[in-house]
Every structure is written in structure tokens, then in C-alpha cells.
Structure 1
Amino acid sequence: MQTVLLILGPTASGKTAYAIDAAIEHNGEVINMDSMQVYRDLHILTARPSAQETARVPHHLFGHVDGAIIFSTGAWLEAAHSAIVDCQARGKRPILVGGTGLYAHALTQGLVPTPPVPAEVRANTRRLVSDDIKAAYARLLVVDPKSARQIEPKDGVRIARALEVFEATGRPLSVWHQDPHPPLLAAGTWEGVALMPQREVLYQRIESRFKKMMEDGALDEAHALYQRGLDPSLPIMKAVGMQSLIDFFQEQCGYEAAVARAILDSRHYAKRQMTWIRNRAAAWKVIDV
């Protein structure tokens, strides 16, 4: 069987081009490992590979999910495993590429089993976080201090997730994390590469790329998604840059201010990605790009 190649990196680090080159060199096919690029609604804003790029080598799991769906890590893991097995059965090397470290971790270290959360509990928890995120984080510090220390106080999504698991089960999320399922990729069956540009170079790339996205139609596709009236808590609505563009659509800010904020949000996101890679993928081969 062909070993699996995993390629991680912050946004705008050149992962797409690197993956395509690797696929051509190693008789491989590219599989998506990015939680936003699974959605079909935001092709440009999520920097999904272009038609010209996907024509060079086969690509899998890009843009196949509707924005109204919550595509969980477990759902991605199942789809990615099927794609990996299919590639290997045809003698192709699976090359997974993306910026979602959680996907890579679940694939190589195992997925943490968590119970279903009743809709009422989820709604109440999200309301608490939405109304007063400081109070929600303070409660998390009491009921699950270990999880709280690993979550930024402004990360409402992860705060809500940890709280809802505790409220539904009485068991902290950190305790659930102690018993993960076995990884789908065993040691020795995969290798990991992390693309890590110099920060200032990366920030310049982020700015120029986002402005190019706007020129290429990202504003129109974001507006089309906004007009669907989807639940703001859905993952697709939290794509980097989407919230600032929504503020522009709602006339809460001007266009230039929305673009500037989106670029800043992208920089912050890239910084978090690089921190995750340094801490959680420290044994991976690092390539300075």
C-alpha cells in the first residue's frame, strides 16, 4: 500500500500548489483536509483549488457539502478514510492537504468519542455563550478547567462545545478526551509535512490574496450565502472573512473596513494555525516556504 502524505500549513502558505506537485511526482491524488473547503457555497473565499488546478490531478472531498449542513470531524473522517482506501486500491498515493489540524489529529491520533447532545441543551448553551461569553467561559473554568485552559476566552464555538457536553452528560469534555478511538492511520503508514512561511511574508500573501479574492467574485458568493438566511452558528457562516462581509451587507461598516477586518482575521487565524502545528505536529517535517 502507498503511504499517506499529510500536508498541513497556515492559510496562504502554498499548500495547494505543493500538494499538486507532490501528486504529480508520486502518482498521487489530492484529498481535502480543510473544514471549510468541504462546503460548495464559498469556492473563492475558502481558497478552494481552481478548475485549472483540479484538472491537473484528481481531487476528492472538495465542495461536496451544502452550507446548511454541519459536517462534523467524524463525518469527514469517514469520508477521508473511504477516499484513502479507494486511492490505495487503485495504486495511487493519497495526499491529504489542508489547514485543519483537528482533522489531521483525528486521522493519526484517533477521534475522541463524545455523546449526542440534546437540541435543547445545545440551544441553551449557545444562548449563554452568545449573551455573555465571559460568564460562559467562567462557568467552563469551574466545571472543566482542563478544557478551559486549552480554549481561548473569545472562542465561543469551542466554549459552547465543551459546556454542552458537560451539561448533557455531567462529564467534562477533557475526561472524554482521555479515551480516543484508535487512529485510522497507524504509525508507519503515513508521513506529515508542515509548510511554515516566515510570518511577515505570510501576512503579505494573506493581504494580497484576499484582495484578489474580492476581485475574483468572493463578495458576490458571500452575498449569495448571506441571502440564504442560514443559522449564523453554522460552520460555513464562520468562514474567515464571512462575518466582516456580513457586517458590510448589513451596512454596519464600509467596504474598505470590512476588507481590512477580514485580512486581520485571516492573519489571526494563520497565527493560530502555526501555533497548533508547532505544538501538536512538532514531529512533522517542516518546510520553510
Structure 2
Amino acid sequence: MSGIENSGGQAGEGRVNNAILIAGPTASGKSALALDLAERNGGVVVNTDSMQGYSVLDVLTARPTAAELARVPHFLYGHVHPSTPYSTGAWLRDVMKLIDDGAFLERPVGTFFERPAIFVGGTGLYFRALAEGISEMPDIPQSIRDRWRYELQEQGAAKLHRILLREDSAAGMMLKPTDGQRIVRALEVLDASGRSILEWQAERGRPLIDRASTRFFVIEPERAELVERIEARFDRMLEKGALDEVRRLTDLGLDPDLPAMKAIGVRELQAAMAGELSFPEAIERAKIATRQYAKRQATWFRHQLGPEWLRLRSGDRVESTISDTLSSAT
């Protein structure tokens, strides 16, 4: 039986059966767990983390190493240039393409069979889009995109927010006057389609996984344990060349408001390189920012993920618990 249902072969019509979803805060060990499961079960790993999709920042975003990538097929890691503002919708379209291309199928001579698709990461909106679908957005012509980004630079977020309130009051009221990126996005959509971004968001898409056969896991480590892991991991990142990555990223001369430029550690290390902070202070600030981010992730997972998610806490034997759950589902 194929792991992909497809009717008509159109993009996005396929759905993944028997998927495994593993969510968790940064540094919780979820990537190593996904790799182990994929290796033992002949599966593939799909990145479900917004920052690990960007190139250049291999070390600073804790992407799997080259050796780990070689052990089993990995998808959607490092495939987006930092100059591109990658979105949830773009990620979902990339998953659709994987489905359409048969990336989750093994094809021995004369037959084919499913390979377990293990989606792993820390971006809650990606998991929600995968499991619940997401509204389609209109294509934005480059001329419109360039226009509103220019206006943002020239006039500032507050002025554009007043324009949005006048043209689309409902969307404007949902956004803070300082949230330049989302204000520009709402204006782009309105300009390109003549419809409010809220109307587009209300039109849900279809899930890309078969929820009935999917197994959902979220790792919830103890806070003290996670803090130790975060601090040790950032020290290893520095040893493995994180500073050189930040130099290469800086040399690209990108807009500092781009998502990739907001990866934790980028601004802190840039400030140290510019002499605005000492390196020890920059490192400590990056570790603090990582801890704060992990706390926000854990809070989101706790409140937004439903009862179908099996919560794995410190003290649980995570690998054996997941293995037992998968065995009982077959």
C-alpha cells in the first residue's frame, strides 16, 4: 500500500499516511531522535523548523551535520537562501512538491512501498499547517513586493499601518503599528488581489497528512535540563564555526529585517564583531535569547497542540516510548 494518496496527480492532492510528527523546543534532542527512528525504520526526515531551511547558517541553526544527512534521506534543510523571506505557506508548498515527486516512496523493481516520513522541528505553525491545512495566498508580483518594501524603508511601519487601517481596517486592527513585516504583507495581498488578507486566511486548505494514521509526539524536557543543553550546544556551535557563518551572512549585505537575519546568535555575534559588545557578553546574550525562545516554544506547544499529541517529559524513556507506540499502531 502506498504511503501517498493521490487523485488526479495535481499538486497538493496527495496525503502522507503513517507520518510521524516530533515537535519540541530547541536543543531538546528531537533531531537526533528523528534520525534514529528513520534509520531503524527505513524512513526519511523532513525539516519542520523555519530557521533550519536557510542556507549559510548550518551550525548556528543546529542543522544535522553532513555525516548525519548521509545516514538517511533528509529534506528541506538549507535549501532557501537567506535573502528569501521563507513562510509557512512556502514550506507547505515544498512539502506538497515532495509528495508529488514521490519522495516518501521506495520503488524496488516492479512495486513500490511507503517509507515512514518523520517531520521534526520546533516551528508550531508548520505542524499546524501540515495537520490542519492552511489558506492559500495570492501570488504577489515582484513589482508590488518591491514597492511596499521600499515604502516601509522610506516611511516606516507606523505610516504604513495608518494606510492599512484606512484601506483594510479589520486587518490593520489585528496588527501592531511596529510590526512592519506583517503590515507590508497585508498591504501586498490587498494590492495584488483586491481582497483582505483576513479573507484569504479564512479559506482553509486541506491537511497534507492522514491524521488517523499519524502519530504525534512533543518533547517536554525539564527546564533545568534544557538550559544546560542550550548552553553546552551554543559553546559547541562556536567551536564548530558559528562566528564564521555570521561573517559570511553579514558579507551578503542583507536587510536586517529578513527572517534569516533574526536567527538567534546572529545579531549578538554581529554586535561583538562590530565592537559594540564584548564576545563573552554577546555569547551570554545569545544563550539568554535561546532560553527565552525555548520557553516560548514550550508554551505554544502546551497550549496549541491538541490531545492527540503524546507528551514526552524528562524521565520518560523517549526512544522506547515512541518505539512502543509505533509498534502498537502496526
For the superposition of Structure 1 and Structure 2, which TM-score range results when normalised by the shorter chain? Answer: 0.7 to 0.9
The letter of the residue matching 2:43 is G
Select the structure of larger CA radius of gyration: 2
Q: Which moved more, 1:205-214 or 1:71-80?
A: 71-80
What SS does the corresponding residue of 2:118 show, helix, strand or coil?
strand
Matched, 1:94 2:139: no
1:205 to 229, 232, 235: 229
Deviations 1:32-62 (A, max 9, x none): 1111112220110000011232233222221
- Pairing of 1:1-289 with structure 2 (within 5 A): 1=3, 2-84=17-99, 85-90=102-107, 91-117=114-140, 118-119=144-145, 122-123=148-149, 126-127=152-153, 131=156, 157-158=181-182, 160-162=184-186, 165=189, 172-283=196-307, 284-289=309-314
CA distance in 2, matches of 1:144, 1:261: 38
- Provide the TM-score with structure 1 as the length reference: 0.84
- 1:154-212 CA-partner distances (Å, limit 9, x unpaired): 76544554565467667554443221222222432422211111222212211221122
Of 75-84 and 98-107, the range deviating more from structure 2 = 75-84
The unaligned stretches of length 5 or more in structure 1 are none
**Shift of residue 136 of structure 1?**
7.2
Q: What letter is aligned with 1:109?
A: E
Three-state SS of the structure 2 residue aligned to 1:253 is: coil
Equivalent position SS for 1:37: helix
Work out the CA distance in 2 between the residues paired with 1:270 and 1:160.
28
The TM-score normalised by the length of structure 2 is 0.75
Consecutive unaligned residues in structure 2, runs of 5 or more: 4-16, 108-113, 315-330
- The worse-fitting range, judged by mean Cα deviation, of 43-52 and 169-178 is 169-178
Offset of residue 113 of structure 1:
2.2
Is the contact made by 2:157 and 2:183 (CA closer than 8 Å) also made in structure 1? no
> What amino acid sits opposite 2:236 in the alignment?
K
Cα drift, residue 27 of structure 1 = 2.1
SS of alignment partner, residue 20 of structure 2? strand
Find the residue that maps to 1:23 and give its secondary structure. helix
| RMSD after superposition | 3.0
Q: Matched residues in 2 for 1:106 and 1:64: separation?
A: 20
Are residues 172 and 272 of structure 1, via their aligned partners in 2, closer, same or farther at CA, if it must alter by over 3 Å? Answer: farther
